């Protein structure tokens, strides 16, 4: 919308709805430009309503202290995470856009900056090219380098065509300061759509739904498992391994697809390493688990919190409390992970509107005997 359009609005009566729609048009107009200056302007407007509630803890999350490395191990480093933004097209929903902007601004305010920012998947809600482009445009404003993982909401409209064009391969590995990091596509489903003659949108909406009895469970799949084995081949057992997977790499609750069907096989490939940490998205909640040598931490969503599954909650999970249904940001957030010389990681879950929860590596390493995280003290609903 041009300056002339804006000035022509002045002095005439406008309904609340019209004002809202005009403000929203300005908001998305500014988003299109998104150089650093316009981003800050748009972002600060987006947080205004949250700050006015008095509940926001702006940029309150900071890395926990980092030990000094010895020469044989990981050089300590931090990465921030943002996950599960579930962006709709801009004409449908701007609340989730505001939330992702807030997360980007939170992370950009960290001092020192993390080594990289990891996005945990479900950037889009219905895999639409416009949703994915909008997300990529917003994430470009991060100061630190970005690494991205795919979620099922990004994939099943066009089977990853747009996502790959924007972000590249859905599974890859990289070395970072002595740690070997692996990113998996853990949302591979067996074909349930061809026999049913589904359109791309029907397929996408089925995968996006819970409890529908139509879709299959997520897997990493034989092809990626073979790739993982060859990727890790020859690495000494004391190499710290960090794995990113969208769904949890264990079996938590099948009806909601909080589940990876071939998790046992993937865990078997990781079993010979002394320390493995798996970070996952998808569950939209504070979730902590350990199975043998593998430590698991879930990421928060910026869009909405899921309730805890009715069964199978890992014993190490310190629950984040039931969010306030009248506060759309409650239970949402982002976080920062600090990787130590032993390859294990502390995670600070930056729950917006609540005190951050720090889950230290000593808590999972001691199987919950030491350093139990302090749960949120705010009211639970
Ligand atoms: Fe999600
Ligand atoms: Fe997901």
Domains and CATH numbers, the chain: 16-61 (no CATH), 77-365 (3.60.21.10)
Letter string b/e over residues 247-276, b meaning 16 or more CB atoms within 10 A of that residue's CB? bbbbebbeeebbbbbbbeebbebbeebebb
* Cα–Cα distance for residue pair 376/220, rounded to 1 Å: 34
**CA angle 19–20–26, rounded 5-degree value:** 90
Distance from the CA of 253 to the center of ligand 1, in angstroms? 15
Distance from the CA of 70 to the center of ligand 1, in angstroms? 38
> Chain-wide mean pLDDT for the chain?
88
Distance from the CA of 333 to the center of ligand 1, in angstroms? 13
Which of the ligands is closest to the CA of residue 218? 2
**127-136, 257-266, 319-328: range with lowest mean pLDDT:** 319-328
Task: Give, in order, the Cα–Cα distances in Å from 302 to each of 36, 82, 115.
Answer: 21, 7, 21
Q: Is 197 exposed, middle or buried (0-12, 13-18, 19+ CB in 10 A)?
A: exposed
Res 190 pLDDT > 60: yes
pLDDT band, very low/low/confident/very high, at 33 (cuts 50, 70, 90): low
Dihedral in degrees, nearest 10, Cα atoms 97, 98, 100, 106: 160
Asked if residues 264 and 216 have their Cβ atoms less than 8 Å apart, the reply is: no
pTM of the model: 0.84
Res 364 pLDDT > 70: yes
Q: Is 86 left (phi over 0), alpha (psi -120 to 50) or beta?
A: left
pLDDT at 68: 52
pLDDT at 37: 53
CA 13 to chain centre: 42
**38-42, 67-71, 108-112, 293-297: range with lowest mean pLDDT:** 67-71
**Strand 345-351's sheet: what is its strand order?**
146-148, 116-119, 77-82, 333-339, 345-351, 357-359
Distance from the CA of 122 to the center of ligand 2, in angstroms? 5
pLDDT at 122: 98
Dihedral sign (CA 224, 228, 229, 231)? positive
Over pLDDT 90: what percentage of the chain?
74
pLDDT at 1: 42
Distance from the CA of 282 to the center of ligand 2, in angstroms? 4
- DSSP assignment of 267-284 equals HHHHTTSS-EEEEE-SS-
Asked if residues 352 and 56 have their Cβ atoms less than 8 Å apart, the reply is: yes
pLDDT band, very low/low/confident/very high, at 3 (cuts 50, 70, 90): very low
Average pLDDT over residues 1-17: 53
Q: What tens digit of pLDDT does each residue of 76-132 get?
A: 999 999 999 999 988 888 999 999 999 999 999 999 999 999 999 999 999 999 999
Greater model confidence, 54 or 206: 206
Which of the ligands is closest to the CA of residue 302? 1
């Amino acid at each position: 919308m041009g300056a002339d359009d804006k000035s022509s609005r002045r002095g005439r009566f406008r309904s609340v709805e019209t004002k809202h729609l005009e403000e929203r048009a300005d908001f998305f107009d500014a988003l299109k430009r998104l150089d650093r200056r316009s981003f800050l302007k748009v972002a600060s407007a987006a947080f205004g309503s949250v700050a006015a509630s008095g509940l926001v803890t702006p940029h309150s999350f900071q890395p926990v202290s980092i030990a000094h490395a010895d020469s044989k191990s990981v050089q300590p480093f931090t990465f921030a995470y943002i996950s599960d933004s579930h962006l709709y097209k801009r004409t449908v929903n701007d609340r989730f856009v505001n939330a992702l902007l807030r997360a980007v601004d939170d992370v950009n305010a960290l001092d020192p900056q993390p080594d990289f920012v990891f996005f945990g998947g479900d950037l889009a809600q219905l895999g639409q090219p416009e949703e994915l482009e909008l997300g990529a445009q917003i994430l470009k404003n991060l100061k630190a380098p970005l690494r991205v993982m795919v979620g099922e909401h990004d994939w099943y409209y066009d089977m990853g065509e747009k996502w790959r064009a924007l972000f590249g391969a859905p599974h890859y590995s990289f070395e970072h300061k002595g740690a070997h990091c692996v990113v998996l596509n853990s949302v591979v489903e067996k074909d349930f759509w061809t026999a049913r003659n589904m359109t791309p949108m029907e397929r996408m909406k089925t995968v996006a739904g819970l409890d529908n009895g139509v879709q299959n469970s997520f897997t990493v799949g034989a092809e990626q498992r073979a790739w993982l084995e060859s990727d890790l081949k020859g690495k000494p057992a004391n190499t710290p391994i960090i794995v990113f997977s969208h769904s949890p790499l264990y079996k938590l609750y099948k009806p909601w697809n909080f589940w990876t069907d071939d998790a046992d096989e993937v865990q078997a490939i990781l079993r010979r390493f002394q320390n493995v940490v798996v970070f996952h998205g998808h569950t939209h909640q504070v979730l902590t688990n350990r199975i043998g040598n593998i430590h698991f931490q879930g990421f928060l969503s910026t869009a909405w919190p899921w309730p805890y599954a009715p069964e199978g909650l890992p014993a190490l999970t310190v629950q984040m409390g039931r969010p306030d249904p009248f506060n759309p940001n409650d239970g949402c957030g982002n976080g920062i992970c600090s990787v130590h010389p032993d390859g294990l990681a502390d995670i600070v879950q930056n729950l917006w509107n609540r005190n951050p929860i720090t889950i230290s590596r000593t808590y999972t390493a001691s199987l919950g005997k030491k350093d139990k995280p302090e749960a949120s003290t705010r009211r639970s609903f």
